[in-house]
Structure 1
Amino acid sequence: MLAKVFPIPLKAGKQAEAEAIVLEFAPKGPGAEDGTLSFRVYRDPARQDYLLFVEHFADQAAYDAHTGSAAYKELIAGRFANLIVEFVEIDHEQLVAI
């Protein structure tokens, strides 16, 4: 399994717009992908203009399919990318799951 974490600072005042794009993307992208095991996006109530993505994929090929999808290209690499300050991708290896 491949785990990805993306702490995403947003441009000032873009929280609602970014959340709307993520809500539109979820069923069209990860919700329709066999290799996407989980797609979770969190907001921090104490920090405005910030989202945390936590995603799990069956393997690298599943992640590549995810980022190569039409929905990803339009909504995330397209519209969402214009709202972020910085893109940070952190790979993790699972130690334990219950």
Structure 2
Amino acid sequence: MLTKVFPINLKPGKQAAAESIVDQFAPLGPGQETGTLSFRVYRDPAKPDYLLFVEHFADQAAYDAHTGSAAYRKLIAGQFADLIVEFVEIDHELLVSL
């Protein structure tokens, strides 16, 4: 399994717009992808203009299919990318799961 974590700082005042795009994307992208095992996006109530993406994929090919989808290109690489100040892509390996 491939785990991706993305802490994302948004441009000031763009929280609602970013959340709206993520809401649109989830059923069109990850919700349709058999290799996307989970797609979770968190907000921090104490930190405005910030989102944390935590995503699990069957393997690298599933992640590549995810980022190559039409929905991803339009909504995430397109509209959402315009709202970002910076992000970091962090790969994780599962240690414990209950």
TM-score (norm 2): 0.99
Deviations 1:3-37 (A, max 9, x none): 00000000000000000000000000000000000
Alignment of 1:1-98 (within 5 A): 1-98=1-98
TM-score (norm 1): 0.99
User: Could you tell me how far apart the structure 1 residues matched to 2:58 and 2:82 are?
Assistant: 28
Unaligned runs of 5+ in 1: none
In the TM superposition, residue 87 of structure 1 has moved relative to its aligned partner by 2.2
Deviations 1:48-72 (A, max 9, x none): 0000000000000000000000000
Which consecutive segments of 4 or more residues in structure 1 shift more than 4 A?
Answer: none
Unaligned runs of 5+ in 2: none
- Structure with higher strand content: 2
Equivalent position SS for 1:94: coil
Q: How many pairs are equivalent?
A: 98
Q: Using the aligned pairs only, state the percent identity.
A: 81
